[in-house]
Amino acid sequence: MTKSVKHNISLRELSRLSDVRHAALSELANGKRENINFNHIERVAEALEIQDIRQIIDLVEVDE
C-alpha cells in the first residue's frame, strides 16, 4: 500500500507532512510493525486533519 485511499496521499508525502520516517509509515501500512510512538500518531493525524485518531489506528489492550 503506497497511498491512503481515504486521503489520496502517498506515504512519502505523508512522511514529509508529518515528519515521520517513510520507512516507519511503510512498515505500519504493510503490517510489519505493530506499535508506533504516540507522538507519531499525533503528527500523522494532524497532517491528515483528523480529529479522532481511531480513524487511522485500532487501539488494543495488551496483557503484560
Looking at residue 7, its pLDDT comes to 67
pTM here is 0.71
Confidence band of 22 (pLDDT split at 50, 70, 90): very high
Which residues, including other chains, have CB under 8 Å from residue 19's CB and lie 6 or more apart? 43
The CA distances from residue 10 to 26, 52, 63, in Å, are 10, 21, 34
Mean pLDDT of 27-48: 86
